[in-house]
């Protein structure tokens, strides 16, 4: 698809200048831009790049002398970072998959697909599954028995949705994402070493061999509207009640959401985040990459963690956290500074002990 600068401006609520009839069919960094690309030069830093590239049109910073930079047309947008959303949506070339139901897909006659749903090659859709209007089920996907997918679902290749999972509208899942694996829940006939260890925090003495009996996952997974899942991430079903992900929450690659977890609205969970069983996460929570959260705890609304944070206990709303263990970010930043001076601290204390001993003896 190609668009005139005028059409782009209208779609984005931007102001357009110059030869607004010029068409573009892609976006590019200024130095890499060809004549059909809209260059992204939202900061004065990019002026040199524009000179290197061959863009005829660009999104520029407010007040830029775009003509002096050799452009024929320019766009100015109110919040440059935000405009990336509309612009990339407009120019996304998509996956190039055809429509309709591919003859190699295995769709159970007991599944209910809205008339315009497309199903890619070698996908499997089980009995009782219901898929809403405008949905795209990618190649090699799996949709389990009685699973429900809302309108406008988009599943990339190889996504797997387990039996009885229920998902709202406009769900997007990247390749290999899995919803509805069984929870990791086992129990020993007698009190286990883990239960004992959690009670005492002490070492394990004389434990006999013990084997683990499986607790089956009878709960499902319910997911709200406008949720996205990253590549190869996993969301387990609940034991009795459902695991839940709220509206608007976005989950990145290789994230693991345990059984019974409840996640609020509009959260961001970045790559390799892990949330252990039965933990509750509030709304608008942002967990940076590799954050881990213990089981059976609570994280309040608007909490933000930094990369690698390990959360071992509840966090009240609004906190900015970092570290292992998770502490307020300013505390952890102080601790990190302390690490670098720790050797000197030990040396100082050793020196002080000597001096004080001398002082004491001399008296």
Chain positions 284 to 303 lying near a copy of itself, rule: CB under 8 A, are 284, 286, 288-290, 292, 294-295, 302-303
Contacts of 130 (CB under 8 A, 6+ apart): 111, 112, 113, 147, 148, 149
Binding status of residue 43 toward a copy of itself by CB under 8 A: no
Contact region with a copy of itself (CB under 8 A), list: 12-20, 46-54, 68-76, 349-357: 349-357
Which long-range contacts (C-beta less than 8 Å, at least 24 apart) are formed by 64-73? 66/17, 66/18, 67/18, 69/41, 71/18, 71/39, 72/18, 72/19, 72/22, 73/5, 73/16, 73/17, 73/18, 73/19, 73/20, 73/22
18 or 128: CB nearest a copy of itself = 128
What's phi and psi for 40, nearest 5 deg? -105, 105
Residue 116's Cβ-side half-sphere holds a number of Cα atoms within 13 Å equal to 8
Find the shortest distance in angstroms from Cβ 289 to a copy of itself: 5
Ordered alpha helix ranges (H), 74-123: 80-91
Ordered alpha helix ranges (H), the chain: 5-12, 47-52, 80-91, 193-200, 329-340, 342-362
Find the shortest distance in angstroms from Cβ 112 to a copy of itself: 15
Chain positions 249 to 278 lying near a copy of itself, rule: CB under 8 A, are 250, 252-254, 256, 258, 265-266, 268, 270-272, 274, 276
Q: Which residues are bridge partners to 69 per DSSP? A: none
**246 vs 162, 168, 228, 239, 252, CA distance in Å?**
18, 10, 11, 19, 15
For 362, the 3-state DSSP assignment is: helix
- Both tokens of 188, joined, read 């020993």
- Both tokens of 22, joined, read 């010029």
Find the shortest distance in angstroms from Cβ 288 to a copy of itself: 8
Chain positions 54 to 93 lying near a copy of itself, rule: CB under 8 A, are 79, 81-82, 84-86, 88-89, 91-93
Applying CB under 8 A, which of residues 67, 212, 296, 314 lies at the interface with a copy of itself?
Answer: 212
Chain positions 169 to 198 lying near a copy of itself, rule: CB under 8 A, are 172, 174-176, 178, 180-182, 184-190, 193-194, 197
Chain positions 89 to 128 lying near a copy of itself, rule: CB under 8 A, are 89, 91-97, 102, 104, 106, 120-122, 124, 126-128
Contact region with a copy of itself (CB under 8 A), list: 2-10, 49-57, 63-71, 334-342: 334-342
Q: Which residues are bridge partners to 234 per DSSP? A: 178, 256
# of chain residues touching a copy of itself (CB under 8 A): 154
For 26, the 3-state DSSP assignment is: strand
Find the shortest distance in angstroms from Cβ 263 to a copy of itself: 14
Cis amide bond preceding 325, omega within 30:
yes
Binding status of residue 8 toward a copy of itself by CB under 8 A: no
Find the shortest distance in angstroms from Cβ 211 to a copy of itself: 5
Q: Are 41 and 47 in contact (CB under 8 A)?
A: yes
Binding status of residue 53 toward a copy of itself by CB under 8 A: no
Find the shortest distance in angstroms from Cβ 44 to a copy of itself: 18
Ordered alpha helix ranges (H), 173-253: 193-200
Binding status of residue 342 toward a copy of itself by CB under 8 A: yes
Applying CB under 8 A, which of residues 228, 244, 246, 280 lies at the interface with a copy of itself?
Answer: 228
Q: Is residue 259 annotated as a catalytic residue, yes or no?
A: yes
Dihedral (CA of 325, 285, 170, 109) sign? positive
Find the shortest distance in angstroms from Cβ 104 to a copy of itself: 5
Binding status of residue 346 toward a copy of itself by CB under 8 A: yes
Binding status of residue 211 toward a copy of itself by CB under 8 A: yes
Chain positions 15 to 34 lying near a copy of itself, rule: CB under 8 A, are 26-29, 32
Catalytic residues: 259
């Amino acid at each position: 698809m190609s668009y005139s600068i005028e059409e782009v401006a209208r779609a984005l609520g931007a102001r357009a200048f110059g030869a607004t009839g010029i068409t573009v069919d892609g976006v590019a960094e200024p130095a890499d831009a060809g004549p059909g690309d809209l260059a992204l030069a939202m900061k004065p830093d990019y002026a040199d790049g524009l000179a290197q590239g061959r863009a005829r049109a660009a999104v520029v910073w407010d007040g830029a002398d775009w003509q002096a930079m050799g452009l024929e047309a320019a766009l100015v947008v109110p919040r440059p970072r935000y405009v990336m959303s509309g612009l990339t949506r407009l120019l996304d070339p998509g996956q190039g998959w055809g429509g309709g139901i591919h003859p190699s897909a295995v769709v159970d006659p007991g599944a209910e697909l809205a008339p315009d749903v497309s199903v890619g090659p070698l996908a499997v859709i089980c009995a009782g599954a219901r898929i809403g209007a405008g949905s795209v089920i990618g190649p090699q996907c799996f949709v389990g028995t009685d699973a429900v997918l809302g309108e406008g679902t988009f599943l990339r290749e190889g996504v797997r949705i387990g039996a009885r999972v229920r998902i709202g509208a406009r769900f997007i899942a990247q390749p290999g994402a899995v919803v509805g694996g069984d929870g990791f829940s086992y129990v020993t006939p007698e009190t286990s070493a883990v239960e004992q260890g959690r009670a005492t925090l002490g070492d394990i003495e004389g434990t006999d061999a013990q084997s683990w009996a499986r607790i089956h996952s009878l709960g499902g997974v319910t997911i709200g509207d406008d949720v996205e899942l990253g590549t190869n991430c996993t969301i387990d079903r609940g034991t009795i009640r459902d695991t839940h992900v709220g509206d608007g929450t976005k989950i990145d690659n290789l994230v693991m959401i345990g059984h019974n977890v409840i996640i609020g609205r509009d959260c961001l969970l970045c790559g390799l985040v892990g949330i252990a069983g039965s933990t509750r996460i509030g709304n608008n929570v942002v967990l940076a990459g590799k954050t881990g959260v213990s089981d059976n705890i609570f994280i309040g609304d608007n909490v933000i963690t930094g990369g690698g944070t390990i959360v071992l206990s509840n966090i009240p709303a609004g906190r900015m956290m970092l570290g292992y263990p998770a502490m307020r970010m300013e505390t952890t930043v102080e601790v990190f500074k302390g690490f670098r001076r720790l050797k000197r601290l030990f040396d100082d204390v050793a020196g002080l002990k000597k001096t004080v001993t001398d002082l004491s003896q001399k008296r």
